[in-house]
Structure 1
């Protein structure tokens, strides 16, 4: 997927009315502001209306936008806050034409706004930092984008009590995770943003922007039914506003759904509509994104020449080609286009360039940085809860101390109150036991939090292991596999040029290269099976069982009710557990017949494996590496495992996992 700048992140207007996106009815917006300027005598109100008009004119006429900004500054001379905000509007004015000047203006606005502590000032500061974060994202620095959103924008928005800004930034974080292809992490952020927008009855433009990106993320997650529902939800929201630029991403998501359904002509039509609808300061970026998707539809429809022309035009865009992932898509598309046109030499050259670029990209480091930032944010939230709990305990201890003083006072006042003192003493003792119990509960809660953090660390280690497997598999398949494929192409081109007596030997060499490619793909598939990511767990397990069967080993695989909605990381862990179990039965137990049964009941996933191997002493092999790996993964999935084995009579393993 090409990296893109979110409409949500860049449509933030530092508007004094806290409007974070332009309304869908632009003409009405312009007319209402113009009437305010004509009818009011207040310089403050006129300045605010002129600032708002800057956002109307920027995508239409920058000269008029500049005039509105200058007029607003003239009217703001007596109002320090309005003058400070003028630099935020200047940053927006230069955003598309001079990004460095834009960032400098936003920095000036931030330094001036720090002197104000009103709700309106916090809103303006939050929007300034939103735009500075968008500039970082535009410079291909997603780590800085996430850092600014979590540590600058959201705290300021919470101070301002502005749920709309918080929602927009949840959507922005979701977009950042999409940029590094962590679509499962993006999904909850989009869902939270949409829920907030719906609960506060936000402007339709805000909700539509979040729904559009959520729909695209569903496509990338291969949740096409959810994506189609999102398209259907957006359509009536946009219907009253036929000129809205938000149609661009709406048609893009619609085209992606058609692309999945192999309706390539309809997909191309939707992409063309999206390109026509794209405008505003983000129009160029959206058009580039849609054109890259359109190329996929053209290639799938075997329209190689139009695809080639689009890719050559995109390759001439210096800003687009600065992004490594965009260059990779363009290079791979050109290789496929030339291959489809039968021009194998340029196809091979573009393939070599794309493979070299693929090897040089280090996306895993960026992903880890972003994950670290998110974990840091989550840990900070947990620390707040611990501090709150500690304060409650300190308050309880203070209450106990006061009770003790009262008891001493009553006891020393008079012997006549002896009975009262005795009751007070009993109360004190009872209260002391309660405090001890509370302290024990507190310690237990701290231990549980620590255990949870350790579990999260272990899960992160497993995820890192799987990501490294996936990277190595991709490198083997795309890197070395591509090179071998290139060797085969070159050798095949030489066959006809050689004498007939030499062709036989060369064909043998080509056969050996073919065998090498097959073996390489088998190794890459074993490290990270592609069908697990494409077709789901059940299909991957079926393929695994069939790949391990030989004349000497029969595997009976049975699956019941396995849901495709199991989270991807959970599917990978289940696949690894079963892969290890089958390997143990074949390599160590010398089994000739294996029965593997997998079933799902709600959030419970059950695995049963029976073999007729030589069995083993479960106590003696309890610490084996294979069994330890299985137990670790079962533990991370909050499951249980039971092994029954009899020497020379076979082994039965029953596993119950939490798959929710």
Structure 2
């Protein structure tokens, strides 16, 4: 049996009078009174009018027609000086057509309101337009044009609602689309829209009297759809969210639909007794609220479980109740069919045949009615077409003679004119095509030249940066030679001079000075070009670099995760310099006790990671961008790579670098 989900349209200030059920958790009078107080206190006619329009809708929502009409009249008196309120009032006054049962007038008024509100680009205009479009779409749905309703929701109402930033409204529109898919048993598509509906209702913060009700209803509908998709774990999570709100509102009419969803959750998992308990709770709630639609759904769902449990007496009682309460012949047909199944199961074949026959009579009647309707429609179309043919034939006979003479005269003139026009058109297109080709070719040349200029500028910029870095490196080496090796050799010279004058040359002292000088020279040599890099590999050179810089205060861990490295020496040198500079920065400025150096490679990309637990720095502070970091970035740019520095004060520093390694370079390395 196809399940029909009624559209429950209770948006903020937008409930319309034909909504089947007004959902409620609490008394909304506190919220309504607060709006009424604002209306009395404000001295602005425009605000007083806006509040009055809203109050008219709120009182309509709580079914107080007298108050609604009173505030609507007050709003209409105050609106006249404000063009936007004049146009918005078309929507607010549209409910009078529904009160009179004038659906056509209601639809025309909605279309007029939408056209007028298109002139305004403010949030309230967008919100009202989205509501107007949904109301119009619901009218199309009631006229069995569900396709038009879907098109209005997806292509117009939802995009406009998003401009209003009213998340509750956006959620309601997504939910309306989902219900259409559920009615057509397209559960997966419904699930996608319900996911969006749940997202928007959960991020909604704007205060409204229906926000919690909207949230709970969204959870309940989503849970029901998830059950039909057999996603029971997800359905339970959503049901729990709904129950968390309903737990403190046992009198709410939202319990009618909550217990239906909970019941099918258990029934679909063959937990029949638990399902029956949920259905009974829902039936009591729906009966208390006189919600016949919910009551019928619950009774039929309960019947399905009772039939599975072979409790045919209660199952039959439910169907007989449903037959007494439904005015719809389609539902009666389905109930007769189910009664036939029950009597067949109890081997009462006479009654089984009786109800099967009633089912067939209604089914044939429905089909016969449709068949006759189709025949009448086809016959009317046929007669209309025949009459049009006769009229056309008579007209053509009278006009043919005069037209033939006139056409003969025109043919020769038209042929000449068309020939000239055709020639001119071809000539114009040929010239235009040639010019277009020349223009495209020139644009391509200009574009390529611009690319070449940009590439050369980039290369020049990188080269200048590298030259600048090399100059700084030379100055550092000169300083190291002067301050380190130079000082030691000067000390050795002085020592030798004194020893010569005093005739007490100490070989031990000289050896110590020479050893220190040699060590200093080796350190400088290692910094210039590590011997292990030239003779062994990048891995050995980096391992040696980390060992030389490790000490009692700073532990350096080195990871080289490349099983078969194959890089050219020029790449290895640049990589070595980058890691050397990163280590120098960590040792000089970071005050780190632990440093991690990691290298890895994936196809044509070489990855470098250097992390420390030092004092860190503010990466956004331009004063922290020294020569060391600039040298690193320049070397990374030289290898067409990317560098990312992550650091915060007192939270360490991490450098992540990606370098591109060309295949030709790798194969030649």
TM-score normalised by length of structure 1? 0.48
Higher-Rg structure is 2
